[in-house]
Chain A
Amino acid sequence: MSYLKRIIYNCKQATFLIDKKATSRLSFREMIELRIHLYGCSFCRIYKKQSRMINEMVQELFRSSMERDVKLDENFKNELQERIEAELNK
């Protein structure tokens, strides 16, 4: 298989580079290879879009579950503070 053909066929490598690029710098060569691949591959273009979307959605999920006001029950809290006081008075 020619070098170019290998790039065009290799969705496995292309998706790896897409995910790597999301948080790190690609080498010049990696960048060019990814561009060439994406130009001809509609599957991986969808993957790229969805990969970013998933990051955003997971972040949003964490943010909203932090705001959702999960509360500890009062008994647990009282016992916990008592324990802290006991440690402080040691």
Chain B
Amino acid sequence: MTLNPHQWVATHADYLYAYAITRVNDEEQAKDLVQETFLAALEKTANFEGKSSERTWLTAILKNKIVDVYRKKSSGLKNIEVKAEEEQSDFFEADGHWVAEHGPKEFGIEDKDHLVNKEFDSILKKCMEKLPALWMAVFTMKHIDEEPTDTICAELKVTSSNFWVIIHRAKLNLRACLQKNWI
């Protein structure tokens, strides 16, 4: 494998853009990230060992840039954490029981082929946008990119016990939002 920067934009720009936009949800920022990725890649061409494809190599550089964005977005983390604590106590009583109105109800699509339900998808998307950036970052890295937990914790600077709490809160909030808007 060798690099061919003369063809980079034609070959990889759209792919990298799609990759970025699904993760940062902002067109301008996604464009900037693509540009930064190519420019950073040019400086690192000597490091390319040819073990992976050009696209895989470029995507890895982009991934690092996205993690930087996540990290910056989550600098307001303290406030979010406090708010989440309040929200969570909304879900459960002091003894740990579900608060009656938040108890999970069937969505009615659990056993069907839920992957093709457009209406549900658009609600899911809106609910995801409401999640704090750090939660979404942790969730994406774990469930989409399937990164090891240690890596995520190191890159986003969260402790492993916080990691589980974040994953759990993201899920609780996402599920509650779906129940509220779907049923």
Contact = CB atoms under 8 A, between A and B. Distances in A.
A65 B39 CA distance: 25
B128 interface: yes
Contact of A50 (B19, B98, B107): B107
A23 interface: yes
B143 A46 contact: no
Contacts of B38: 80, 83-84
Contacts of B114: 53, 56-57
A51 B171 contact: yes
Q: Is the interface of B mostly helix, strand, loop or mixed?
A: helix
Interface residues of B, number: 53
B143 A55 contact: yes
Contacts of B8: 81, 84
Interface residues of A, number: 46
Nearest to A52: B110
Given A62-B144, A83-B39, A54 B178 contact: yes
Contacts of A55: 143
Main secondary structure of the interface of A (DSSP, over half): helix
Contact of B35 (A24, A47, A80): A80
6 contacts: A50-B110, A72-B31, A80-B34, A81-B6, A81-B8, A83-B35
Given A15-B168, A16-B165, A70-B17, 7 more contacts: A43-B103, A50-B178, A65-B21, A65-B22, A69-B14, A70-B14, A88-B5
Interface of A: 1, 6, 9-13, 15-16, 19-20, 23-24, 43-44, 46-47, 49-51, 53-62, 65-66, 68-72, 76-77, 80-81, 83-85, 87-88
